[in-house]
Amino acid sequence: MTEFLAMGGYALYVWTAYGAAVVVLVGLTVATLARRRSSRRSLEALEQLRGRGRRA
């Protein structure tokens, strides 16, 4: 197990790359969810203005 974690001497590079990838993926997920929430709020406001506040 120790040899696996050492990654043949490239552990710093490999684990840093994995960490950076995880940070980017989490950031993209959070940004997407925030944008989706914002878009839904905007859509609901526009529907209210046009008198279509009900959903089918």
Q: What is the pLDDT along the chain (56 residues), one digit of tens a residue?
A: 888 888 988 999 999 999 999 999 999 999 999 999 999 999 999 999 998 656 55
CA 30 to chain centre: 4
pTM for this prediction: 0.70
The type of residue at 14 is V
In angstroms, the CA 23 to CA 39 distance is 24
Listed by start position, the domains of the chain span 2-49
The type of residue at 3 is E
